[in-house]
Amino acid sequence: MIQSPAPFEGKSGDKYFNEDYRNILQTLINNTSVTKKFNESEFYKKLKQGIDNYSLSYKDILQNGLNYIDEALGDKEITFALSHGDFAPWNMIWNDKQVFLYDWESANLEAPAGIDLVHFLFQTGFLLKKLRGNTLLVFCLNGKPYQIVSGKIEKSLLASKLLLLSYLLKMAIDEDREQPLSESGVERRNLIKVLIYNCKRTDS
């Protein structure tokens, strides 16, 4: 988890999620995973505390998102694992099949399995592909990457919409500092609202 220097010269990762990324995430999950009730995890406790202390006017939106996740998962057993926290092409150097992954300051020892995958999709979709609104939402929920990183993500019950909603809430409490929100902050807020609406429609 050293920051620098890189042990070899190389290039940044590809902007498309692929088997190389899959191998990194699967290795992290396989070697660090634990199973516990969602509402007893450190991830949930930090999320709840962060939303309780959220000072911007969008607090109700975040609270509604947390309430939905709490109702959907509650005391269900979830797979958690080490998360890099900023898993994106620009935070790694590749040389043949070797990879040097850096910028671990956002790492989380106990995050829902697969949350790094969601971060990768959101960041590359938003920053590199310039996707917005429903197009970004569909991109982040694309089934293929979730199929590549299989197993414990599926077993965690957090795949797809609930995992994305958990990620967006976490990013909001970590990144939102002032109003008006940054462009990415606005996008997160809007996607949270859409996800809550879509999840409730699916349930009804």
CB 184 within 8 A of CB 126: yes
CB 121 within 8 A of CB 138: no
Strands 77-83 and 108-112: antiparallel
Distance CA 58, CA 71 (A): 21
**Residue 91: what pLDDT?**
92
CATH topology for 19-203 is: Aminoglycoside 3'-phosphotransferase; Chain: A, domain 2 (3.90.1200)
From first to last of its 204 residues, what are the pLDDT tens digits of the chain? 455 566 677 888 889 998 889 889 989 998 999 999 999 999 999 999 999 999 999 999 999 999 999 998 889 988 899 999 999 999 998 887 788 888 898 999 999 999 999 999 999 999 999 999 999 999 998 777 877 666 666 555 555 789 999 999 999 999 999 999 999 999 999 999 999 987 766 665
